[in-house]
Structure 1
Amino acid sequence: MQENKNEKPFIPTLGITIGDMNGIGPEVIIKSVMNPKIFDLVNLVVYGHGKVLSHYKNLLGVDKFSFNQTNNAGQIRYNRLNVINCVEDIEVNPGEETKEAGALALAAIQKATEDLKEGKIDAIVTAPINKNNIQSDDFKFPGHTEYFTEAFGAHESLMFLCGERIRIGVATGHISIAQIKDRLNADVIRKKLELMLKSLKKDFNIGKPKIAVLGLNPHAGEDGLLGNEEIEIIQPVINEFKEKGELVFGPYPADGFFGNSSQSKFDGILAMYHDQGLIPFKTLAFEEGVNFTAGLSAVRTSPDHGTAYNIAGKGIANEQSMRSAIYMAKDVLLARRENTH
């Protein structure tokens, strides 16, 4: 198919939810857009409140930062940041956990989700929330991943942590360690592997992905001496995918796998539980890592850090993870467009 040289490049419109306004979300948003060249690649709409960004602009002493306030994402101005006020008024208190901050975070997520469903924006980038103060009758979820999974009608999704040199998904996410043994079964692992394979092909343009599966127990069970989950649950699922011609290998002992830098040999890694995946990921890719929700019809990314109340408003937050989340949302959108043609 010949390229149409007259066709304008696709510049997606991304919605950025403000997250907890008393955390570092507003600061990393401001820092991420200080280089105007970003607007050559994406249009950006912050869902939150203009007062929040003005407050942090003054705290940070940033002179060359401005934004356009609008009531409708369909009427944004290009080549600059846009802001939609999602509540009437707010009071910003950096570093403090307040109900008001939770209410704004939720209002921003709800409005951005509505606009994404209506086609006014193309994807959502979420700044970090406080999972405690956002809880309400409208938000009874452990985090963003579960909220968006329900909001977009997906039966399953995958928390997929992505960096330049490593991608890790988790079979079980925001649950207690005590619940892992009861929740982990062959069907769960099978579904997460299917989501990872599909995402690597569709969202990352990897034609024949190579995936490593980690064991649950120390030393991957040591042939049943330290646990039978590898023999009874994990290995049979891996064998199923191998029989279908997929490059799925394991189960690997987690400590030795990362100790030997084996992650560099694979396109994706499936960890059995949250910390098994996120500890090595944040060790290797904390400053530039992105949390991507694979398996949704919509595109949602997020920086891989939390609200960091202890440094909020101090001007020392690193914006690289937020900037990477913005660029990954754009890249995934472009990959999906290519793969539908």
Structure 2
Amino acid sequence: MSTNKPIKVGISIGDLNGIGPEIALKAFEDIRMLDFCTPVIFANVKMLSFFKKYFNLEIRLHGIPHSSKAVDGKVNVVNAWKSNFKVNFGEEDKVAGKYAVRSIEVATEALINKEVDVLVTAPINKNSIQSEEFTFPGHTDYFAQKLKGDNMMFMVSEKLKVGLLTDHVPVKDIASHITPERIQKKVEIMSQSLQQDFGIVKPRIAVLGINPHSGDNGVIGDEDQLVLKPTIHKINDLKGELVYGPYAADSFFGSKNHENFDAVIAAYHDQGLIPFKTLAFGKGVNFTAGMNRIRTSPDHGTAFDIAGKNQADPSSFLQAVYMAIDIYKNRMSYMEMNKNPLQIKPTARENQGSKHN
């Protein structure tokens, strides 16, 4: 498959009362973006025309009835719904949540059907999207069901990559979720992603401890000693991975120890995302690793506090677009390099038959 053609980038629009539409349109206001990718936004042309006018953006929108009709060189907009919606910037609204979900669903269908090559998701409000039909706490959990593979929330920037053992899990339940099987699976996902998606041949991975000071040899909890440490040793012994830890999380990033590794696995959400967003905010990307399709998103939320004020910075959204494209190209190259170059050996009967012809 050629990677020289413009890559079709599907975009779910996010919460209409947040900054999603603003950053998506600002990202493609520079017409040079269309030289290397073809955006396909799943929303509504009239709605996006409203945002275009409201934020005084110089961008031409091309309405299409279906993602398969996307045209290179244009900012394509699939009409994912027909009804009108009154935008109330900065307000949590179940109707806005309904349209955000609709955009995600149609975009995901296009991704599965390969009508778009990658998907970039604008921020959603996790409360307003909840309904009887949609009960997922976020994008990652939704894609875990819809796409093939075992996934991992993987926060990525140029200099820092942090994956999670557990993501949207209450703090009181974290330790019970961290089992040897989960640790092995997450390490496998991260190692494979670093190789095929980021071109790192032999990844070095650090694992952060579950408890303060990694348990202090059992003084502050025994999960690190009984679960994490022996599993890390087993992974290294059986699979030859370069996995190290557990490291005390409180000093790991401050001492710049993360610079000695290709990626870090954190035990839980805030343990990984607080240092990541402190060090890489605005330049980071949320990547769902381990899936058979590529999905990225900016490293921030709906930003209701600045919605409608024309203050939203599209930098992280642009990074999500760039990274989705890079991962797609890396993955295609990896598949090409690792495919079997040998022809299937013909059977003796097939050889004999060819001699008589």
TM-score bracket for this pair, using the shorter chain length: over 0.9
The structure-2 alpha-carbon separation of the partners of 1:8 and 1:252, relative to structure 1 and needing over 3 Å to count, comes to: closer
Q: Among 66, 74, 78, which residue is 1:72 paired with? A: 66
Q: Among 180, 191, 203, which residue is 1:186 paired with? A: 180
Q: By how many angstroms is 1:189 displaced?
A: 1.1
| Alpha-carbon distance in structure 1 between the residues aligned to 2:263 and 2:231 | 16
Q: By how many angstroms is 1:298 displaced?
A: 0.7
Q: By how many angstroms is 1:119 displaced?
A: 1.7
Identity of aligned residues (%): 44
| Alpha-carbon distance in structure 1 between the residues aligned to 2:223 and 2:5 | 47
Residue 226 (1) aligns with residue 227 (2):
no
Which string of whole-angstrom CA distances, capped at 9 and with x for unpartnered residues, describes residues 123-143 of structure 1? 111001111111123311110
Counting only pairs closer than 5 Å after superposition, residues 74-113 of structure 1 correspond to structure 2 as 74-89=68-83, 90-113=85-108
| Alpha-carbon distance in structure 2 between the residues aligned to 1:177 and 1:328 | 31
Residue 208 (1) aligns with residue 208 (2):
no
Structure 2: gaps spanning 5 or more residues: 337-357
Which residue does the alignment assign to 2:47?
Answer: 52
Counting only pairs closer than 5 Å after superposition, residues 5-154 of structure 1 correspond to structure 2 as 9-62=4-57, 64-89=58-83, 90-154=85-149
Counterpart residue type for residue 159 of structure 1: M
Matched residue SS, 2:205: strand
Counterpart residue type for residue 151 of structure 1: K
| Alpha-carbon distance in structure 2 between the residues aligned to 1:260 and 1:57 | 45
Q: By how many angstroms is 1:188 displaced?
A: 1.1
| Alpha-carbon distance in structure 1 between the residues aligned to 2:4 and 2:56 | 35
**C-alpha contact (below 8 Å) 2:3/2:329 kept by paired residues:** no
Residue 280 (1) aligns with residue 275 (2):
yes
Q: Among 155, 162, 172, which residue is 2:166 paired with? A: 172
Superposition TM-score, scaled by structure 2 size: 0.91
| Alpha-carbon distance in structure 2 between the residues aligned to 1:130 and 1:305 | 11
Q: By how many angstroms is 1:234 displaced?
A: 0.6
| Alpha-carbon distance in structure 2 between the residues aligned to 1:337 and 1:119 | 14
The structure-2 alpha-carbon separation of the partners of 1:182 and 1:75, relative to structure 1 and needing over 3 Å to count, comes to: same
Superposition TM-score, scaled by structure 1 size: 0.95
Matched residue SS, 1:311: coil
Counterpart residue type for residue 259 of structure 1: G
Which string of whole-angstrom CA distances, capped at 9 and with x for unpartnered residues, describes residues 55-91 of structure 1? 22222222x2121011111212221211111111222
| Alpha-carbon distance in structure 1 between the residues aligned to 2:50 and 2:258 | 42
| Alpha-carbon distance in structure 1 between the residues aligned to 2:48 and 2:284 | 24
Counterpart residue type for residue 183 of structure 2: I
Q: Among 302, 312, 319, which residue is 1:307 paired with? A: 302
Matched residue SS, 2:246: strand
Structure 1: gaps spanning 5 or more residues: none
Which residue does the alignment assign to 2:288?
Answer: 293
Q: Among 259, 267, 270, which residue is 1:264 paired with? A: 259
**C-alpha contact (below 8 Å) 1:52/1:92 kept by paired residues:** no
Which string of whole-angstrom CA distances, capped at 9 and with x for unpartnered residues, describes residues 251-300 of structure 1? 10011111101111111100000000000000011101100001110111
Counterpart residue type for residue 173 of structure 2: Q
Larger Rg: 2
Which residue does the alignment assign to 1:160?
Answer: 154
| Alpha-carbon distance in structure 2 between the residues aligned to 1:224 and 1:303 | 38
Q: By how many angstroms is 1:8 displaced?
A: 7.4
